[in-house]
Amino acid sequence: MAENKELTKKEDLILFLSDTDEREGLLGKKNRKLLSDPLTDNNPITVQVLGICSALAITVQLEPAIVMSLAVMAVMAFSNMIISMLRNLIPSRIRIIVQLVIVAALVILVDQVLRAYAYDVSKQLSVFVGLIITNCIVMGRLEAFALGNGVYKSFLDGIGNAAGYAFILILVAFFRELLGAGKLFGAQIIPDSWYEAGYSNNGLMLLSPMALITVGIIIWVQRSRNRSLIEQN
Amino acid sequence: MDRNSNAYTFIFAVILVAVVASALAFAATQLQPAQAENVKNEKMQNILGTVGIEVSRDSAAVPFDKYIVERIALDSKGQEKTEVNAFEVDLKKELKKDVEEQSFPLYVANVEGAKYYIVPLRGKGLWDAIWGYIALKDDVNTIKGAVFDHKGETPGLGGEITQVWFKKRFDDEKVFDESGNFIGVSVAKGYQGGDNKDDNAVDAISGATITGDGVTDMISERLERYLPYFKNKTNVKVAAN
């Protein structure tokens, strides 16, 4: 009997779904919230102010922004799952290093796979794939969520936060490419007649500071719509 | 076992690192052939692109053999090095050697009777290496076409040197000035020359000044190394000095 009890305990350690998950169903209300919250009131960029650096760097054009979002999504989903699986085994003193090793390994893997099977995309993203390692959102979610929650929930949390990141990235890239280069996905949108009439592209939009200002405007709009996000002090 | 003990921490770290390292090593060796193939095909595609032959990356090998009639490796004095395979020359390694010891690969293309010299380029951008190929018509002065690529330039800024509209600016530019001195082509900020093809300059990219300067330096530094070879060609107007 005693042996049996120990076994079930051990199984609990690496069980994919915690008790509450099983009762709730795969896309129950709480799980849906994990996906939808980061898109709105708990957005990693505009509310938690994480991952700003890459939001500045790769939002000059839409296409790299989208591919970068997908790469971040893959890395976040898998790193969240792996850390969550190991959460009861990781020694707490070296947990940050363990997280870094896992994230770095996944990023290198994504980079290698892209280079072999999606060569053009990997060239377009160049350095930024490597920089996913330093994206604060990834480490932030590992620390804040994956270390304390089940594997499936962590997976949803990873997808949700990456989607929140993607949403802002794509929005910023949309405005920067449209106003800075008059293009979307590399195709000219602003008609030639506008240029002839004196319209000119705003070159400033292509520089990093304007990404920050665009993010600032998005934060402004978001907080004026949802006043509970405004800090009281 | 106590998860906070030193022994546990140590063992955990060792196992984790061993597992991760072997997984990555396995993935890298499995993916390596596909990656090398991509790089090789892209090199052929780029070389063909400079003489106006657009092919997809996967189907570059056949037209490459058809149009590129000679692949020569030169030494710094312009003499052919017969023992070196020009296509295999890695400029990254060559640039670390002294000029006297470097091999300078040169491709000669024959497209419908017209002869072109294609020179591989390599230099430094803002963040990392930039490289490319430049094709000269058989007066060794007029540029037929150029392609550029980079390792780590900022997408949307310096990374734009790979774009068609940027490389088109080099078409028909001259690398010698009117008195026959070698200049190269400079990527000029605030360029006002319009379509002038004789001023040895093209318009730069906004926000990519340092990458543009890198392109300028790369073209003049690399092309200059081939002057001894071109001087032996009778139809080239190379200055007397």
CB contact burial B90-101 (16+ within 10 A = b; e otherwise): ebeebeeeeeee
Q: Which chain A residue has its CA at the smallest distance from B128's CA?
A: A127
Chain position carrying tokens 């530019």: B173
Q: Which residues of B145-177 are buried (b: 16+ CB within 10 A; e: fewer)?
A: bbbbbbebbbbbbbbbbbeeebbebbbebbbbe
- pLDDT (tens digit, 9 = 90+) per residue, B39-50? 899 999 999 999
Q: What is the pLDDT of residues A137-155, one digit of tens each?
A: 888 889 889 999 899 999 9
Crossing angle for the helix pair A62-85 and A136-144, nearest 10 degrees?
30
Indicate whether A6 pLDDT > 80: no
Q: Which of B149, B152, B206 is facing A127, going by the closest CB pair?
A: B152
Closest residue in B to A107 (Cα) is B24
Q: Is residue A224 over pLDDT 80?
A: yes
Q: What is the mean pLDDT of residues B196-224?
A: 90
Helical (H) or strand (E) element with B185:
none
Task: Tell me the shortest Cα–Cα distance from A205 to chain B, in angstroms.
Answer: 11
- What does the domain layout of chain B look like in residue ranges? 40-231
* pLDDT over 80 (residue B126): yes
The burial of B84, by beta-carbon neighbours within 10 Å (0-12 exposed, 13-18 middle, 19 or more buried), is given as middle
| Cβ <8 Å between B151 and A126 | yes
Output the CA torsion B2→B3→B6→B12 (10° steps): 130
Cβ-proximal residues to A164 (8 Å cutoff; 6+ apart), any chain? A38, A39, A42, A43, A44, A45
Query: In this complex, which of B4, B13, B156 lies closest to A61 when CB atoms are compared?
Result: B156
- Residues of B within 8 A of A60 (CB-CB) are 154-157
Contacts of B38 in chain A (CB under 8 A): 115-116, 119
**Are residues A93 and B4 in contact, defined by beta-carbon separation less than 8 angstroms?**
yes
CB atoms within 10 A of CB A161: 33
What is d(CA A97, CA A83) in angstroms, rounded to the nearest whole number?
12
- What is this model's ipTM? 0.71
Those residues of chain B whose CB sits closer than 8 Å to some CB in chain A are 3-4, 8-9, 12-13, 16-17, 20, 23-24, 27-28, 31, 34-35, 38, 42, 57, 127-128, 149-157, 159, 162, 206-207
What is the distance between the alpha carbons of residues A162 and A164, in angstroms, rounded to a whole number? 5
Q: Where are the alpha helices (DSSP H) in chain B?
A: 6-50, 61-67, 91-94, 164-168, 209-224, 227-231
Residue of chain A with shortest Cα separation from B35: A116
- What is the token pair recorded at A41? 């009131």
CB contact residues (below 8 A), chain A span 108-167, against chain B = 108-109, 112-113, 115-117, 119, 123-128
**Residue A8 pLDDT more than 90?**
no
Confidence grade of residue A5 (pLDDT, cut at 50, 70, 90): very low
B237 or B213: which leads in pLDDT? B213
Whole-number Å distance between alpha carbons of A158 and B108: 53
Question: Is pLDDT at B62 greater than 80 in this prediction?
Answer: yes
Cα–Cα distance between B232 and B227 in angstroms, integer? Answer: 9
DSSP-assigned letter for residue B54: -
Q: How many CA atoms lie within 13 A of B146 on its CB side?
A: 32
Which segment, A32-46, A149-163, A197-211, is predicted with the most confidence on average?
A149-163
Q: What is the residue-averaged pLDDT of chain A?
A: 82
Q: How far apart are CA B46 and CA B50, in angstroms?
A: 7
Tokens for A33? 């919230």
Question: Which chain A residues are within 8 Å of B128, Cβ to Cβ?
Answer: 127
The predicted-structure confidence for B11-34, as pLDDT tens digits, reads as follows 999 999 999 999 999 999 999 999
Distance, in Å, from the CA atom of B109 to the CA atom of B144, rounded to the nearest integer, reads 11
Lowest mean pLDDT, pick from A126-130, A214-218, B232-236: B232-236
Closest CA relative to residue B147, chosen from B47, B40, B219, B37: B47
Average pLDDT, integer, range B187-216 = 88
Contact at 8 Å (CB) between B205 and B212?
Answer: yes
Q: Where are the domains of chain A?
A: 58-222
Per-residue model confidence (pLDDT) at position A33: 82
A2 in reach of chain B (CB within 8 A): no
DSSP state of B123: E
Contacts of B127 in chain A (CB under 8 A): 127
Distance CA A37, CA A45 (A): 12
Among A98, A112, A203, select the one facing B206 at the smallest CB separation: A203
3-state secondary structure of A183: strand
Report the residue from A64, A108, A109 with minimal CB separation from B155: A64
pLDDT for residue B93: 87
Model confidence over B128-176: pLDDT tens digits?
999 999 999 988 889 999 999 988 888 778 888 988 889 899 999 998 8
